Amino acid sequence: MSEKLIEMVDNAGVVRLTITRPKALNALNSAVLTELEALLTELEKRSDLRALLITGAGEKAFVAGADITEMRTKTPEEARAFASQALRTIKRLETLPVPVVALVNGFCLGGGCELALACDWAVASDNAIFGQPEVLLGVIPGFGGTQRLPRRVGPAMALDLVTTGRKIDAQEALRIGLVNRVMPQAELEAYAEELTKQLAGNGPLAVRSAKQAVHDGMDQDLDSALALETSLFALGFAGSEQKEGMSAFVEKRKPNF
Nearest to 18 by CA among 67, 59, 47, 71: 59
Could you say which DSSP state residue 113 is in?
Answer: H
Distance CA 195, CA 193 (A): 5
Distance CA 54, CA 130 (A): 16
* Catalytic residue check, 42: no
Amino acid identity of 5?
Answer: L
Amino acid identity of 150?
Answer: P
Distance CA 44, CA 96 (A): 6
- Residue 217 sits at φ, ψ, to 5 deg, of -70, -30
Q: Which of these is catalytic: 134, 172, 187, 189?
A: 134
Q: Which of these is catalytic: 78, 114, 229, 241?
A: 114
* Catalytic residue check, 78: no
Nearest to 132 by CA among 105, 104, 163: 163
- Residue 67 sits at φ, ψ, to 5 deg, of -75, 105
State the catalytic residues: 114, 134
